[in-house]
Structure 1
Amino acid sequence: MSAFTLREATLADIPALCRIYEHAVLHGTATYELTPPDETEMTARFLNLTRQDYPYLVACNGEGRVVAYAYAGPFRARPAYRWSVEDSIYLEPEAQGQGIGTALLGRLLELCEEKGFRQMIAVIGGADNHGSVKLHQKLGFKPIGLFEGSGFKFGRWIDTVLMQYTLNGGKETLPDESRYPGTLV
Structure 2
Amino acid sequence: MAEPSPVVESQRDVEDVSEEAAEPAPVPSVMLAGDVPGYDYQAARDALRNAGYEVVGRAVSTTVLLILGERGENNGHKLRDAVERGIPCMDVRKPGRFKSAVLSGEFVGGDPLPEPVKVDRSGVSDRERNRVIRAWARENGWPHLPVQGRVPMQVRHAYELAHQDASEGKAAAA
TM range (shorter): under 0.3
More strand by percentage: 1
TM-score normalised over the length of structure 1: 0.23
TM-score normalised over the length of structure 2: 0.23
Greater RCO (Cα-Cα under 8 Å, separation 6 or more): 1
Instruction: Give the greater-gyration-radius structure (CA).
Output: 2
More helix by percentage: 2
